[in-house]
Chain A
Amino acid sequence: MIHFVILMSRQGKVRLAKWYSTYNMKERARVVKEITPMILARPLKLCNFLDWKNIKLVYKRYASLYFVCGVDVGDNELITLEIIHEFVEVLDRYFQNVCELDLIFNFHKAYYILDELLVAGELQEPSKKAIHKHIQDQDQLVENAKNGIGEEGQPR
């Protein structure tokens, strides 16, 4: 299973962190602190897997962002890479050509999307289209609710 997903910038700043295994605050900070230099220091051409403690780190760089997953040692590394890629594709479609700033300012949206993709460290939705539909529904509903509450009488 996936133990955690971390998005970090090239400067090592955390943009998004989701923990599926139990880590307390201190452990979370330590994990981030320890894996950041390992990943940032890796040259581009090398393979995207790293053994770290009893976890395998699978990471991929998209523009200025690193997507890092910590998975079980026995997991299929290639499929983890593809999960990352699927996440990026979904983000890309949602934000229309996603960039780091989208994720900085709308990081809660990124969390919602990730919740649609992964639950309890497992991939829950293999279909991009379904994720999209769900997120759109959600936005629609939020929009309706907000209009309903904020500006009375205006049906969206």
Chain B
Amino acid sequence: MQSKLEKVVAGLKTGPRFLKELREFDNLVKAIGECKSKAEEDRIITQELELLKQRLSDPKLDRSRGKEYMIRLIYCEMLGHDASFAYVKALQFASDPNIHTKKAAYLALTQFLDHNNQLVLLLVNTLLSDLKSDNYLIVCTALVAATKLIGADLVNAVYPVVVGRLRHPKEHVRKKAVLALHWFGQLDPRREGPLAGVELDKHFRTMLCDKDPSVMSAALCALHECIRSDPRPYKNLIPSFTSILKQVAEHRLPKSYDYHRFPAPFIQIKLLKILALLGSGDRAASENMAAVLLQALRRANSSHTIGSAIIYECVRTITTIYPNPQLLAAAAESISPFLLSPSHNLRYTGITALAGITALNPAAAAEHQVAVLDCLEDPDDTLKLKTLELLYKMTRASNIQVITDKMMGYLATCSDEHIRRDIVRKVSDLAERYAPSPAWFVSTLSEVFRLGGEHVDEGAAHRLVRLIAEQDAGLHGSAVEAYLGLLEAQGGEGAGAPSAAPKKKLPETILLVICWVLGEYGHLARRPPAAVLSRLLSILSSHKAATERVRGCLLTALTKLAAHTGGAAGPVGAALLQPHGSAGGGGGGPMGREAAELVHQCLNSQNLELQQRAHELTTLLSLPPPLLSSALPVDAACEEFSAAELAEVATLPFLDPLVTRALAAGAAPYLPPEARGAKTGEAQAKGLRFEAYEPAPYAVPLASSSTSYSAGVNDARLHLGSTSASTSTLAAAASSHTAAAATPAAGNQLQPQLVLKSGGPRKWGPAQYESEPPSQHTAGHSAGSSAAAAHGTAAAGAGPASSSAAGTTTQSGGGRHSRSGSGSAVVTAQNAERERLAASLFGTAGGTAAAAATRPSPAHRPQQQSQPSNGSANASQQQQQRGTAAAPSAMDLLMDLDVPQQQQQLTAAVGPASGSGR
């Protein structure tokens, strides 16, 4: 502090003119510096702005102080205050002859305005004359201002002048003109607006050959942008770029372009970025640049950050272009120092680069397992997040459990919205792709819902519900138990102990899922139905603000629960149907009262849907038991109508007797709408014309099929019952072999669409590489291949693997432990833990190393993998797609789930049935 003061004093002494000129500004800065509070600062700035306003509007304004005023305005604006009153004044100062004032005014304008501002129009003339100025500094200033202020509507006014500046003798001007053109190009990237027909890239190509390296580097920036939008027209530049890169890397540029003794690293990196864009997906182009890339990679070293930056960029380029095994090997080798570095920055980039390499060569991550684990346990969130991303990319069926555990652990501690959403998306994605068993999938997704339910899209919830429905009773039971447990943890055991800290509320999506599951399968619970009822009701008491959607689903769930547990006579039904206001005489006790209270409330609810559901509940429960059980069948949620059934139902055969009776009684026969229209059309031919009205869309098949339940319930049920039997046996068979895809290939047309796949790759989403059963046993990866088979799917299976992995882990772990330097006893404990983790993460990855390396064309791998051992994967993939295609209407579907089709149709049927009766 002392030294700083001295310096200021010295500065003040040496520059008296400076002092005089900026005294008021200095005083302002000092006053702000001494402020104790934000309020005080605001007060000073407001005062200052008032003063400036006064001064600037004064006709006898001292123009020589223009610069100072501008600087004071910038300062005020920088501190977040509005100085818009001075914008016009700044425009005036920009045309001041004094370069001093002009520069300050341009600076102020670039700070205050942007290219969308209308005021810029007033500046164009000044700008144009400055662009033509003899003084090259003024031209530079004007060009810099143009890169900020000129918008799409003004481009044409300045474009010709800027192009003219490309031939300016000063390289500074040429460079800035190129950058200004670069900015213009960004304003209209497709060249179809104001810049239509303008050959910007021709200029850039010319400037690439400029004799001054900095002009060339500016042209590289511009070309990079052009190539990013469309690389095709620039393929012929590849030889130029590679030769420039070669020359730069060989230190051919003047010494002044060195940066920490690296030859022009900024230019190198720009070139590498461009080459990555040009080479991606282009085999011939990639082969042309391979040698230069290798050279650039070899010449750089990580002794300084800038060297690491070049290496990192090289690796990124190598992983973007058409894969070249030699380059990939060199890249993998060059990033190991990054991962072992004590610097977090390098480890961060190392992990990012490793993720890129892993996508092409899954074995790469296994070599660095210790480093990856280190990063995963690092206190640095950014690093941890990046590592999770890497894990996401290297997930396969064998390590899914560990990886989702890690992600979930992070999710529980993280509070950033964006990150949470991202992790939730990743976990549900992974779980759908690789889940080892339905039970695991259900429990994982439920956990995700619990931790980050607000970010789950309803499609995922829908798929979860669907999956539960497809499984057998054992899973239903376990799902019910899991959700009851969840509610219990939530409710803090009712009136018992009020939990110390108010627990986080369950998000709405999971509540809907819970309601549905407990409604549909609550009778499978290992406790009496009344207990399930009380749990369900506890949703209301713990979520006071439960939305009406949740309440509606809850009502339906109660209905189904009652129907499955003995109807009106059962404990739940009795509780629900207790007359309102009865003094708790019935079976339910306080709980019963609560249930009846809910039903009663909803009967009188303002919300029509709630009201309807409540009425449905009371009506359904008053039906005779056989009718009730066929209206709400047990475990029929995943039945689907076949097309034949629908067609049969759509003809409404059960109405035939009714119709014959009515016809016999003298009713008019039914006329189809078309016939009806023709008839009335004749009668009214010369009256008003009615053609404009299209006939209303009649009778959607599904809706009409519903009528079956009002009249012919029993026989329709028989049909459905048979399909139900067949689907459920299939489902049972499927879930019995969990590791493979859940659906047998046969009969998948009848199968429900969401099918849990453990191995099947997806068509969409990031490309990933499946670990195949290791065919070759590589020496370096004894851990991987031997563990792979034994490992399978269970997390517990990590035990045997850890022993075989120990060799590799401990060996390379040395570096890490010397760094952490903790006591040896602790270390061994940690070691064991880490080994287990490493084995379960990388267990099978190592085995594929040789296989992957020998594979000739990695780009074709996705196709190869689509035939895993299980032949049905293709079919299931298609099914998956169909399942996701259905997802967009998730909102409706979720609502429908709570009112299983039959029931919904029952209510819909009331209309047509009564109508035809008349």
Contact B182 A123 (CB under 8 A): no
Across the interface, do B214 and A81 meet the contact criterion of CB distance under 8 Å?
Answer: no
Q: How far is the CA of A24 from the CA of B180 in the complex (A)?
A: 22
A111 within 8 A of B: yes
* A residues 54-102 in Cβ contact with B at 8 Å: 76-79, 81-83, 85-86, 99-101
Q: Which residues of A contact B182 (CB under 8 A)?
A: 120, 122
Q: Is B763 an interface residue (CB 8 A)?
A: no
Evaluate contact between B217 and A78: CB separation under 8 angstroms.
no
* Minimum C-beta distance from A147 to chain B (A): 10
- Look across to chain B and name the residue whose beta carbon is closest to the beta carbon of A15: B78
Which stretch (B379-387, B486-494, B766-774, B877-885) binds chain A? B379-387
Do A126 and B213 form a contact, CB below 8 Å, given A101-B7, A119-B144, A134-B172?
yes
Taking a contact as CB atoms closer than 8 A, the residue among A86, A99, A105, A125 that contacts B214 in the complex is: A125
CB <8 Å contact, A78 and B308: yes
With CB as the reference atom, state the residue of chain B lying closest to A83: B266
Proximity string of chain B (414-442) to chain A, C-beta cutoff 8 Å, 1 when within and 0 when not? 00001100000000000000000000000
A32 at interface (Cβ–Cβ under 8 A)?
yes
From B78, B254, B273, B347, residue with most partner A Cβ within 10 Å:
B78
B26-39: CB near A (< 8 Å → 1, else 0) gives: 10010001000000
Cα–Cα, bound, A16→B450 (Å): 44
- B175 cross-chain contacts in A, Cβ below 8 A: 124-125
Instruction: Specify which of B99, B218, B316, B382 is in contact with A51 (CB 8 Å cutoff).
Output: B382
Residues of A within 8 A of B309 (CB): 76, 78-79, 81-82
Q: Which residues of B contact A156 (CB under 8 A)?
A: none
Query: Closest approach, in angstroms, between the C-beta of A73 and any C-beta of chain B?
Result: 11
The count of A-to-B residue pairs whose CB atoms sit within 8 angstroms is 172
Chain A residues within an 8 Å CB radius of B148: 20, 120
- B80 — which chain A residues lie within 8 A by C-beta? 14, 25, 28-29, 32
Taken together as a complex, chains A and B put the C-alpha atoms of A77 and B71 apart, in Å, by 32
Distance in Å: Cβ of B89 to nearest Cβ of chain A: 17
| CB of A128, distance to nearest CB on chain B (Å) | 7
Most buried by A among B71, B217, B265, B345: B345
How distant is the Cα of A142 from the Cα of B18 in the complex, in angstroms?
13
Count residues of A near B (Cβ-Cβ below 8 Å).
60
Which chain B positions have C-beta within 8 A of A22?
A: 114-116
User: Which chain A residue lies CB-closest to B115?
Assistant: A22
A85 to B382, CA, bound (A): 21
Known: A108-B74, A137-B137. Contact between A127 and B256, CB under 8 A?
A: yes
Check if B329 is an interface residue, CB within 8 A of chain A: no
Interface size bracket, B side: 35 or more
For the complex, give the distance between the alpha carbons of A22 and B111 in Å.
11
| Residues on A with beta carbons closer than 8 Å to the beta carbon of B120 | none
In the complex, whether B179 has a CB less than 8 A from a CB of chain A is yes
Among B114, B186, B349, point to the contact of A77 (Cβ < 8 A): B349
Q: Determine whether the beta carbon of B213 is less than 8 Å from that of A119.
A: no
| A16–B78 alpha-carbon span in the complex (Å) | 7
User: What are 16 A-B interface contacts by the 8 Å CB criterion?
Assistant: A46-B380, A51-B419, A76-B273, A76-B309, A77-B348, A78-B306, A99-B7, A111-B74, A112-B107, A119-B176, A120-B179, A125-B175, A126-B214, A142-B103, A145-B98, A150-B64
Q: Hey, which bits of chain B sit against chain A, CB under 8 A?
A: 4, 7-8, 11, 22, 26, 29, 33, 64, 71, 74-75, 78-80, 82, 98-100, 103-104, 107, 111, 114-116, 135, 137, 140, 144, 147-148, 172, 175-176, 179-180, 182-183, 186, 213-214, 217-218, 221, 254, 256-257, 259, 264-267, 269, 273, 305-306, 308-309, 312-313, 316, 343-345, 347-349, 379-380, 382-383, 385, 418-419
Give 8 closest A-B pairs by Cβ, nearest first.
A47-B344, A78-B309, A129-B256, A46-B380, A126-B266, A122-B221, A120-B147, A119-B179
